[in-house]
Amino acid sequence: MIAANIMKAHDYEEVSILQNKKARLLAINVIHDTTRGPAVGGIRFMKYKSEDEAIYDALNLARSMTYKTAAAGLSCGGGKTVIMDVEEMDRVLALKTVARFIESLNGRRFTGRDLGISLEDLEIMRTETQWVADESAAGVGDLSEATACGVYHAMRACLEEVSGTDSFKGKKVAVQGVGEVGFWVAKYAVEAGARVVVADVNPGALARTVEDLKVEAVSPDQIYEVDCDVFSPCALGGVLNSGTIPRLRCKIVAGSANNVLGNEQDGNSLYGRGIVYAPDYIANAGAVIQWWFRQTAYPVMDKRDGREVIANIYLVVKEILRRSREKQQPPARVADQYAENQLKPEKTYRDMNWGM
């Protein structure tokens, strides 16, 4: 009933639970909103403590995708799929099962990579459905780099808000999580002239980043207390909460992690401390923007250069921060209002089969 209450409160369209006993699969597919277009959003493959936790994660992520695409001005909506990672799972069969379900939606749902999903996984899924992103050079390109590019432009807007200039020179950036996206975020910051400190629970990813970018490393717990200009969470969501926000020693929070705030009150807490926050679903929209303007599965009426639209994240974040300042409201709340204003006033369900 918790899921049903959330669906009614935030006007979700559909939640599906997929099960395949042979594969040991339990997956949740959520479609939040398709009034602007097909529900886009990646597949997350990870361990959850319970089915309820997985459902709650999928619900939050799908709604964030709706807001992300709406704020970016794209003609699509939001969805998400999570697969519960369990012991002795038949990964190939599980992925094919999810792909067959996605195919049955006839283009109403389009998906790609998220945490725990590799390029090889996408290729397996592409044997069963056409509604999966092709991240090859001939397809939509490296979406991890595109995400990081958007975060970089969001940081620029925040730096200008705080210091009057978008320059990284002389600034210090602390990056939490240097996997595929976080590595690129650190690289952008280094190349822009910032001093960068990184942390990751994965020793291999950390060693690679330190060696390639010549940056400083601290422990995953110490990263919250690094005295810096920008704290950039690029790992899991929910890391900014009542336990971690008081430890922050930064002026700005801008990263790629989805749903980085534990709850709405955490956005208020950042605002109360005077920390400038780039709302996550706006800062990390680079991937879906690049995908939308390079994909060929759906018609794009307003064809533009995706990289120019990613750069426009700078202007969107500046506008959010301006409204936050004028309304004296937290940027997280202002961003939700901004995104909701881009949605149609009522759901019409006029195109249930976008691919037909």
CB 66 within 8 A of CB 77: yes
Distance CA(269)–CA(251), nearest Å, equals 13
Phi, psi values for residue 17, rounded to 5°: -110, 120
Cα–Cα dist 92/237, whole Å: 27
Beta partners for residue 15, in sequence order: 30
CB contact at 8 A, 173 and 189: yes
Cβ neighbour number for residue 213 with a 10 Å cutoff = 18
CA gap 40, 76 in Å, rounded: 7
**Residue 233, phi then psi, degrees to nearest 5:** -80, 120
Collapsing DSSP states into helix, strand and coil, what is residue 46?
A: strand
Phi/psi at 58 (5° precision): -60, -40
Instruction: Identify whether the C-beta of residue 268 lies closer than 8 Å to the C-beta of residue 330.
Output: yes
Q: Identify the active-site residue in 80, 96, 172, 187.
A: 80
287: left (phi over 0), alpha (psi -120 to 50) or beta: alpha
CB atoms within 10 A of CB 126: 14
Q: Whats the size of the chain, residue-wise?
A: 356
Q: In the annotation, is 80 catalytic?
A: yes
Alpha-carbon gap, residue 292 to 85, rounded angstroms: 29
Residues with a catalytic annotation lie at: 80
